[in-house]
Structure 1
Amino acid sequence: MSDTARQQSPEAVKAAIAAERRELADMLDTLRAEQWDAPSLCAGWTVRDVAAHMSLGFRYSLPRIAREIIRARGSLDRMTDHCARADAAAYSTAELASFLRDNAHHPWKPPVGGIAAALGHDVVHGLDITVPLGLDREVPEDRVRVLLGTVTPRTARFFRADLDGVQLRATDMDWTFGTGAPLSGRAQDLLLVAYGRGLPPGHLTGPQAPRFTTG
């Protein structure tokens, strides 16, 4: 973890996670029916699917996760895809929002990455929802800085982000990553790039922007 991430104490990151979940729950409560069924930045998933996936770690016991992985023939990707779609169909939109709000302080963490990865899970999936919907939600800078501090070549490979030949340059804070042709944008948009997302037009600038732009 970089110095940027270390500047935040574990208690501060846990507080940021709780705040992020509550804010995202409030945002979900405002969505119209057609927005819930709109595409997200997660390939093949709707907003509803992403919202269902975000609370899986709160709702599934370890034995159930093990059973679902076996059912998916050992593929974590197949397991998460099946569970997201099934849960999206099983729960109401109000329930999906309440799962985040009611579990704001839940200690769940991804298998790797610790509490910073838990914050990343919430922030990035929140942006997976708000960005394609055109909702101008600005993630607080302290949360973005923690996550940018965890970006490394290894994490880029993990998230299947092809950053070869580009340098990410934030326009709203002093942060760069990589070497090559400049790819500029808001820090939270570059965070999405580092997590392997393609963004709608208008979010990125630079000669390599089309490579990371969808639609």
Structure 2
Amino acid sequence: MGKTTEHTGNGTDIRAMIAAERRELADLFDDLRADRWDEPSLCAGWRVREVAAHMSLGFRYSLPATVAELVKARGGLHRMTDRVARRDARVHSTAELAEFLRDNAHHPWKPPVGGLAAALGHDVVHGLDVTVALGVDRRVPEDRLRVLLDATRPRGLKFFGADIDGVRLCADDLDWSFGTGTPVYGAAQDLLLVTFGRKLPAGRLRGGSSGRFTRA
């Protein structure tokens, strides 16, 4: 497997991208109609409100509080994040969920592995979980996409349950591709979602194997 482009950005660049992404998504959440918060996202089992609640978990919970939640979930990270997202989506208003992102635009939180690029990916992908599912035409800026696409690694694919064996992902709006095999074409941000194990709405990808990555 390989990729065709490189992006060189320092930590300051990526921090600025993270802050901009959080502010833009906060604005988008502010503009959502009330009924749209209860529509399903691309995250299996989560509505828009659970995704929004999850996005700010790292800002709102201290390390000891996070560890305590993990213990309650018997060490299951996904079980813990699911329970906390569902609970916090009930407790906090939609205005509060948007404000958590805006107020923490410069928060230094990062996932346990992956560094700043992983923090950017967390925000970008969950934002796309919402906008793609709702049919909102938001384009993630190219510089942010390049950081994430160029950081694609087999280990990350495995962690997120993305199976692209025998497939080459080919962006039709950027000079980027990844993998080997039958080409699947689509917008770079849609292919990014594929690398994070998401199933996309029909019609967003092209190619003989595109059905593998499309919602039934």
**TM interval, short-chain normalised:** over 0.9
Q: CA deviation at 1:134?
A: 0.2
Corresponding position of 2:147: 146
In the TM superposition, what whole-angstrom CA distance separates every residue of 1:93-147 from its partner, at most 9, and x where no partner exists?
Answer: 0000000000000000000000000000000000000001000100000000000
Structure 2 unaligned runs (5+)?
none
Q: Does 1:182 align with 2:183?
A: yes
Q: CA deviation at 1:211?
A: 1.0
Corresponding position of 2:68: 67
- Local SS of the residue matching 2:161: coil
Counterpart of 1:212 in structure 2: which amino acid? Answer: F
Q: Does 1:173 align with 2:174?
A: yes
Q: CA deviation at 1:4?
A: 2.4
Structure 1 unaligned runs (5+)?
none
Q: CA deviation at 1:158?
A: 1.0
CA–CA distance in structure 1, aligned partners of residues 157 and 164 of structure 2: 7
Corresponding position of 1:128: 129
In the TM superposition, what whole-angstrom CA distance separates every residue of 1:44-98 from its partner, at most 9, and x where no partner exists?
Answer: 0000000000000000000101110010011001100000000000000000000
Counterpart of 2:76 in structure 1: which amino acid? Answer: S
In the TM superposition, what whole-angstrom CA distance separates every residue of 1:123-182 from its partner, at most 9, and x where no partner exists?
Answer: 000000000100010000000000001101111111110011100000001001000111
Q: Does 1:41 align with 2:42?
A: yes
Q: How many residues align?
A: 213
Aligned ranges 1:13-28 → 2 under 5 Å: 13-28=14-29
Identity, in percent, stands at 66
| TM-score computed with the length of structure 2 as normaliser | 0.97
Runs of 4+ in 1 over 4 A off after TM superposition: none
CA–CA distance in structure 1, aligned partners of residues 153 and 103 of structure 2: 32
- Local SS of the residue matching 2:178: strand
CA–CA distance in structure 2, aligned partners of residues 132 and 76 of structure 1: 24
